[in-house]
Amino acid sequence: MSTNVLIWVVVAAVVLVAIGIGLIIAGRVRGRRRSAALRRHFGPEYDHVIEQSGGRSEGESVLQRRLNHRREINVRDLDADERERFSSAWDQAQNSFVETPRSGLRDADLLVMQVMRDRGYPVEHFTEREEMVSVDHPDLVGHYRAAHRTAVADTQDHADTEQLRKAMVDYRYLFDELIGAGHPERTQRGMQAP
């Protein structure tokens, strides 16, 4: 083999190695940016999903699927009449809670689901609702999850009055956001791609 050919082979090998290293570095930088964007968007929910999924890669895939699914859903704002109607219904649930905590909590759970349905969220299963809340209201999904857990425990008479009260407050946080989400920037915050 001539010296010139050998030099070209070595140069080509060095270039290919450099390109490979560059691609690896670029992939890692992209991965870190994606992780940072997901962490920034989801907040504490990021850590929750990573822990539940068994690792960063799996958890981030779950979070990305949630974002993609949410982008496919047309969620609308409530008009003033609908907000007023739901606010009145909440007042009734709260009054019911004072007299009969279990009944009031059940009403609050159903009311949150109804608001979500009317806005266009999928509501068939709690998991779907929880995932969509985690995208649009990541700061409230933990409250929603806890309230629902208490409501389910209460159907089996496993919740005490203080747990019921806390669940009612947790539902109220989400309810207020859902009916007050007449601001496009709130509805759209879950739509930003990491």
d(CA 121, CA 76): 9
d(CA 170, CA 108): 10
Alpha carbons within 13 A on the beta-carbon side of 10: 7
Q: Which pLDDT value is given to residue 154?
A: 66
Q: Where are the domains of the chain?
A: 3-72, 80-191
**Mean pLDDT: which of 6-15, 97-106, 173-182 is highest?**
97-106
| DSSP-based three-state secondary structure for 139 | coil
d(CA 69, CA 194): 14
Check the CA dihedral 64-65-70-71 and report its sign. positive
Rounded mean pLDDT, 130-145: 94
What would the two tokens of residue 106 be?
Answer: 């059940």
Rounded mean pLDDT, 95-107: 91
Q: What is the mean pLDDT of the chain?
A: 84
- 46 vs 5 pLDDT, higher one: 46
- 85 vs 194 pLDDT, higher one: 85
**Mean pLDDT: which of 25-29, 146-150, 186-190 is highest?**
146-150
Instruction: Supply the DSSP string of 18-47, one letter for each residue.
Output: HHHHHHHHHHHHHHHHHHHHHHHHHTHHHH
For residue 189, pLDDT over 50 is answered with: no
With bands split at pLDDT 50, 70 and 90, how would you rate the model's confidence at 23? low
For residue 186, pLDDT over 60 is answered with: no
Residues sharing a CB contact under 8 Å with residue 10, sequence separation 6 or more, in sequence order: none
Rounded mean pLDDT, 36-63: 89
